[in-house]
Chain A
C-alpha cells in the first residue's frame, strides 16, 4: 500500500491566506523532494531536502524535513492564484533502492 501520505487531500483558500501541506512516511526517508503539478500539466520539481531537520525557502515557500526523516511540510505564505495546483512530496525509502515513492498529493485551489 501507499507508504507516503499527504494531508490534506484538498485545500481551498482565499488569496492572501497561508497554506500548509504535510507529508508523512511510515518508514525513514533518505531524502524528500517536492513537486508541483498545475491543472492539466505534469509534475515539476521544486526542491530537495536531505538532512534531518533541514529547512529551505523559496520566496513565499518554506520546506521542512523532520528530525526523524519521516515527515516533511510545505508552507506557502500569502497564497496567490499562481499557486494553484497539486503539490506532491516524494522520497526514497531507506533500503528501498533508488526509486522514488510519491505522496498522495494535496490539491490547492486559491479563490480571489
Chain B
C-alpha cells in the first residue's frame, strides 16, 4: 500500500520544547516538502528537498529544521525558536520535477498544539 505517512496525528508539547514530526513515503519520490497550514492562510512552504542530503528553505523556514538522510524520510523539527508553532503540518512528496511539473501527494498531517 503506497503512500505518505505522518505520525502522530495529534501532538501536544510544552512551550520551549523542540519536537520532531515524522514523514515517510514509499512512493519512490525524490522530492519532499513540508507545509504549514493555518486558518485562512492556505499552505505555506517551510522546507523542501529535491534529493537526498540536500534541502532548501521555503517561505517560512525560521524556527524549523529538517534533514534528508534517506530518500524515504524527511523529518521536521519545530524548535523553541518558532514563535507560533501551533498549526497543522503537512508533508508532501512528488517526482523530481526538473523538466516537468508533477503533482504533489500529501500525507494525512500532524496537528501540533503547543501549550
Contacts and interface: CB of A to CB of B under 8 A. Distances in A.
Contacts of A31: 101
A98 interface: yes
A98 B43 CA distance: 16
A98 B48 CA distance: 10
B103 A99 contact: no
Interface stretch (B14-22, B66-74, B79-87, B105-113): B105-113
Contacts of B58: 99
B44 interface: yes
B111 to A, nearest CB: 10
Contacts of B35: 102
Interface in A25-40: 30-31, 33
Contact of B101 (A6, A30, A102, A103): A30
A109 interface: no
Contact of A43 (B31, B101, B106): B106
Interface residues of A, number: 25
Interface string A3-31: 00010010000000000000000000011
B103 A42 contact: no
Interface in A56-112: 88, 90, 92, 97-105
Given A43-B43, A98-B50, A92 B108 contact: no
Contacts of A105: 40, 42
A43 to B, nearest CB: 5
Interface of A: 2, 6, 9, 30-31, 33, 41-45, 48, 50, 88, 90, 92, 97-105
Sorted nearest first, the 6 A-B pairs with minimum C-beta distance are A45-B103, A102-B43, A42-B106, A104-B42, A31-B101, A102-B42
